[in-house]
Amino acid sequence: MPKPLALLALALAILCTSARAAEQASTQAAAQITTQATTPAAPTLEFAFEEIVTLGTDTKVGTTPWGERNIVPITGGTFAGPRIKGKILPGGWDWQLTIPGGCFSLHANYMIQADDGAIINVDNKGTMCQSSDGKDPKWLTTPSFEAPKGPHDWLNGGAFIGTLQGTTLDGKRAVRIRYYQAR
């Protein structure tokens, strides 16, 4: 190949290689920016309210194909938080199931009444299992709420998590449930 043609071929090869490298760098940078822009921030939890729910006498159903069934009536209680407070209405139930293998499942459904008279349905579910290290499980629940349109509408459709622990209220057996809203 004559020298001028060889120099021209070399120059074209350098330009093509540089253009390809620049294109790859640009694509990588765009992918990194896109990933950073589309990765949402991790949610945080904001305290919503706390309930003290009084419980009636258990009704032992017995062993079923799914485990040992127990039903606990919800008899009353109170709740309060920064945006809402009121009372737990009697008449709800907590359907409990002790599952073979050391897990415990609950499904509580009941009504609360805010001080302004609004009645809100609470549907709270959770499953807790003994840890392999023998420590007590953390009692976490996933509640959903059905509130009438108006000042308590913020409860509808939000993502919530609850913590649950045993307690007493006026000498009666109860549970303390703290609800947090994901933000």
How confident is the model over 60-112, as pLDDT tens digits? 999 999 999 999 999 999 999 999 999 999 999 999 999 988 899 999 999 99
Q: How far is CA 13 from CA 8, 17, 19, 111, in A?
A: 9, 6, 10, 76
Could you tell me how many residues make up the chain? 183
Which pLDDT does position 8 carry in this prediction? 47
15's tokens: 């330009």
Residue predicted with more confidence, 24 or 171: 171
**Lowest model confidence (mean pLDDT) among 13-17, 59-63, 67-71, 119-123:** 13-17
Which pLDDT does position 23 carry in this prediction? 66
pLDDT band, residue 162 (cuts 50/70/90): very high
Which pLDDT does position 61 carry in this prediction? 95
Which pLDDT does position 12 carry in this prediction? 46
Burial label, 53 (beta-carbon count in 10 A; 0-12, 13-18, 19+): buried
Query: What is the pLDDT averaged over residues 3-16?
Result: 51
pLDDT in tens, 130-156: 777 777 778 899 999 999 999 999 999
Q: What is the maximum span of the chain, computed from C-alpha positions, in angstroms?
A: 104
Which pLDDT does position 4 carry in this prediction? 57
Question: Mean pLDDT of all residues in the chain?
Answer: 87
pLDDT at 19 over 70: no
Query: What is the pLDDT averaged over residues 18-31?
Result: 61
C-alpha 43/C-alpha 2 separation (Å) is: 67
Residue partners of 147: CB distance under 8 A and separation at least 6: 118, 120, 121, 153, 154, 155, 156
Q: What's the gap between Cα 59 and its chain centre?
A: 29
| pTM of the complete model | 0.77
154's tokens: 């913020």
Dihedral of alpha carbons 71, 75, 77, 82, sign: positive
C-alpha 174/C-alpha 78 separation (Å) is: 11
